[in-house]
């Protein structure tokens, strides 16, 4: 795959103001997403995954702010665009299935009414019956019957709510879909079904997808490219197969090793130690206090990003070391 990217992100940084100084929640994230490509973002709680995708939508609210970087969505520079351009781009060019999306549905509106509101807000000039036909088709596209449109959120199961959120995210045929843990509240079987649905609509649209998740096994199945975040940085990003077969950052290794070896089906349980403070980051490599490979150099020198032969990018002094 080497088409022009639908999304390119360069040196993105997001800071949250705190009494002790700025918390660097996202700190120099760079990647590109090609049409039809699925990128999985993994990393511990607090590593900056949600903040990254919210920044792409220009949805960071005070005390947070985008401190630097570039986000290009096709020919739109999202960080320089006017508020009205940004509003227009949301849903039509880039759409988010937010973390906890199931609770984001409006409880007092039927499913069809909330999708209709979205179509109207984005200037649909169709008559009501034509819009309803579109809504039925959208619901059908995520495996829901047309009658689901008449139901209210409390009448839906978790999996159905997630499907409705996906239907809304794809309603205006965006070229990029951001899905922030869209299945984490669901049981394993429903998770798989919802992910398959997401892949189905993504393929139909030819959209690029960023999927955030904790389940490395699900990522291995879903993503073409996996990005590993630690303390606001992408510490390793590369093709899924290569990254799983031969992880180059010690943190990636530990994430993969912490999976049960039999079948690798379960969410990682975490690795020893705690992530660093985002305000008072340790000197050197942010991972050095937890890293089994760390030496004197790692305690003082921040690793620059290295690009390996297979296109992988890794922030570790010893990324090419054997073993």
Ligand X SMILES: Nc1ncnc2c1ncn2[C@@H]1O[C@H](COP(=O)(O)OP(=O)(O)OP(=O)(O)O)[C@@H](O)[C@H]1O
Binding site for ligand X (CB under 6 A): 16, 23, 25, 43, 45-51, 63-64, 99, 278
Q: Which does 48 bind (CB under 5 to 8 A by kind): Mg ion, ligand X, none?
A: ligand X
Shortest distance, CB of residue 270 to Mg ion, whole angstroms? 15
Angle at 81 between CA 77 and CA 82, to 5 degrees: 175
Q: Which of 63, 64, 62 minimizes the C-alpha distance to 12?
A: 64
Shortest distance, CB of residue 194 to ligand X, whole angstroms? 18
Nearer to Mg ion, 60 or 135 (CB): 60
Shortest distance, CB of residue 25 to Mg ion, whole angstroms? 11
Q: Which does 171 bind (CB under 5 to 8 A by kind): Mg ion, ligand X, none?
A: none
- Using left for φ > 0, alpha for ψ between -120 and 50, and beta otherwise, residue 6 falls in alpha
Which residues from 90-119 bind Mg ion, rule CB under 5 A? 99
Which residues from 36-75 bind Mg ion, rule CB under 5 A? 50
Nearest residue to the partner Mg ion, using Cβ: 50
Q: What are phi and psi of 71, to 5 degrees?
A: -130, 110
- Using left for φ > 0, alpha for ψ between -120 and 50, and beta otherwise, residue 231 falls in left
Shortest distance, CB of residue 274 to ligand X, whole angstroms? 11
- Using left for φ > 0, alpha for ψ between -120 and 50, and beta otherwise, residue 3 falls in beta
Nearer to ligand X, 143 or 182 (CB): 182
Q: Which does 46 bind (CB under 5 to 8 A by kind): Mg ion, ligand X, none?
A: ligand X
Q: Which does 208 bind (CB under 5 to 8 A by kind): Mg ion, ligand X, none?
A: none
Are 216 and 42 contacting, i.e. CB atoms less than 8 angstroms apart? yes
Shortest distance, CB of residue 54 to ligand X, whole angstroms? 7
CA dihedral 207, 200, 195, 172 (to 10 degrees): 50
Nearer to Mg ion, 5 or 227 (CB): 227
Nearer to Mg ion, 50 or 89 (CB): 50
Shortest distance, CB of residue 98 to Mg ion, whole angstroms? 9
Shortest distance, CB of residue 46 to Mg ion, whole angstroms? 8
Shortest distance, CB of residue 80 to Mg ion, whole angstroms? 26
Nearer to ligand X, 201 or 218 (CB): 218
Q: Quote the tokens at residue 25.
A: 């929640």
**Could you tell me which residues come within 8 angstroms of residue 147 by beta carbon, excluding any fewer than 6 positions away?**
none
Nearer to ligand X, 54 or 172 (CB): 54
183 in contact with Mg ion (CB under 5 A): no
Q: Which does 286 bind (CB under 5 to 8 A by kind): Mg ion, ligand X, none?
A: none
Are 291 and 316 contacting, i.e. CB atoms less than 8 angstroms apart? no
Nearer to ligand X, 29 or 135 (CB): 29
Q: Quote the tokens at residue 64.
A: 């947070």
Nearer to ligand X, 40 or 48 (CB): 48
Q: Which residues bind Mg ion (CB under 5 A)?
A: 50, 99
């Amino acid at each position: 795959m080497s088409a022009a990217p639908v999304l390119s992100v360069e040196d993105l940084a997001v800071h949250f103001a705190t009494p002790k100084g700025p918390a660097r929640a996202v700190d120099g994230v760079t990647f590109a997403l090609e049409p039809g490509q699925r990128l999985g973002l993994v990393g511990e709680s607090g590593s900056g995954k949600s903040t990254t995708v919210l920044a792409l939508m220009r949805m960071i609210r005070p005390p947070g702010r985008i401190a630097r970087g570039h986000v290009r969505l096709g020919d739109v520079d999202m960080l320089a665009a006017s508020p009205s351009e940004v509003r227009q781009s949301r849903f039509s060019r880039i759409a988010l299935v937010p973390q906890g999306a199931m609770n984001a549905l409006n409880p007092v509106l039927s499913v069809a009414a909330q999708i209709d509101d979205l179509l109207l807000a984005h200037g649909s000039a169709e008559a009501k019956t034509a819009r309803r036909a579109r809504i039925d088709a959208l619901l059908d596209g995520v495996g829901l019957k047309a009658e689901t449109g008449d139901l209210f959120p409390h009448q839906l199961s978790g999996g159905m709510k997630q499907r409705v959120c996906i239907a809304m995210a794809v309603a205006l045929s965006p070229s990029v879909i951001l899905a922030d843990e869209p299945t984490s509240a669901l049981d394993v079987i429903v998770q798989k079904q919802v992910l398959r649905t997401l892949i189905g609509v993504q393929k139909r649209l030819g959209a690029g997808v960023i999927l955030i998740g904790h389940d490395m096994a699900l990522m291995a199945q879903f993503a073409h490219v996996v990005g590993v975040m630690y303390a606001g940085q992408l510490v390793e990003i590369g093709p899924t197969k290569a990254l799983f077969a031969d992880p180059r950052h010690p943190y990636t290794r530990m994430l993969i090793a912490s999976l049960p070896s039999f079948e690798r089906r379960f969410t990682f349980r975490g690795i020893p130690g705690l992530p660093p403070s985002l305000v008072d980051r340790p000197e050197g490599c942010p991972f050095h206090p937890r890293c089994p490979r760390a030496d004197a150099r790692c305690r003082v020198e921040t690793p620059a990003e290295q690009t390996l032969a297979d296109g992988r990018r890794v922030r570790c002094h010893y990324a090419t070391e054997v073993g």
